[in-house]
Amino acid sequence: MWESCDERGYRRDVSQKPTPKSPPSPGGREPQRIAKLLARAGVASRREIERMIESRRIAINGVAIETPATLLTSLHGVTVDGKPVSAPAPARLFLFHKPAGLLTTERDPKGRPTIYDRLPKDMPRVVPVGRLDLNTEGLLLLTTDGELKRQLELPAVGVERSYRARAFGNVSQDQLEDLIDGVEIEGVRYGSIDANLERRTGANVWIEMRLKEGKNREVRRVLEHLGLQVSRLIRTAYGPFILGDLPVGEVGEVRQHDLVTFRKTLKPAPHGATAPKTASPRLTAAAAPAPGGRRGRPRHRSGPAPAKPKG
């Protein structure tokens, strides 16, 4: 027997026993949704956790839960696939210089290589912040904290992404400046883009673009709308974190102090806000210290610009 859908669209079987809730915390902690707690613990993204709940893979004291809206004060007694969930550790954030030719997903049905094939085997479980397309290269943030991932992806939070694109064709600075007001392409509205013509190299142009939405293939679609053919796309920065001189295929970790400081500057995520649709790979085991001890550095506007690739 099924009653009406809950606010997330999940049906509840009223013939089953109510989902158990954890006892009140001695410390008086405010109850939170289990999907949020598990995301913070690095189990998976919220969207993936919702699918796991729907598949009855998550339980409390041995009883499968039915809705991601279940409120808990802690993860005591919570299991995923029968395995206890550890309490959340402090969030970690990594910078990965993604090469072209890798998918931002855990596994591919066609057997194509993914970012997880290139990550160090001793990394903790990480999930990508957003995604980069197969042929897009550059900075990809990876985190152990699903809640941090969500916060960084939400357009409402306003974290800026920076790109450099090499494209074939002609475009004027005036055309690029019109993008500051946003543009609609085939019924899809893209928000404000700060674009500048960097230089011309023969029949190609290099364009710098900064945006805060990150819709699927946004940069490529906008430039194609202007009559350009993108031949290379590089993400150079995400928020204050820059690609800099991080070698292709290597990983750097943001210092804990810098990460804590950065998180204090973020606007809180609006209740019910959703990130742009991207791939939602399951978290996989993969970091300990980054190779060579290289660490990501926050970007400061007054600091040196990232090295420019040769055109």
Task: Verify whether residue 181 is a known catalytic residue.
Answer: no
Rounded Cα distance, 285 and 242, in Å: 25
Task: List phi, psi (to 5°) of 94.
Answer: -120, 150
Burial class, 87, CB count within 10 angstroms (exposed 0-12 / middle 13-18 / buried 19+): exposed
Burial class, 98, CB count within 10 angstroms (exposed 0-12 / middle 13-18 / buried 19+): buried
Given 6, 122, 133, 145, which residue is catalytic? Answer: 133
Return the active site residues.
Answer: 133
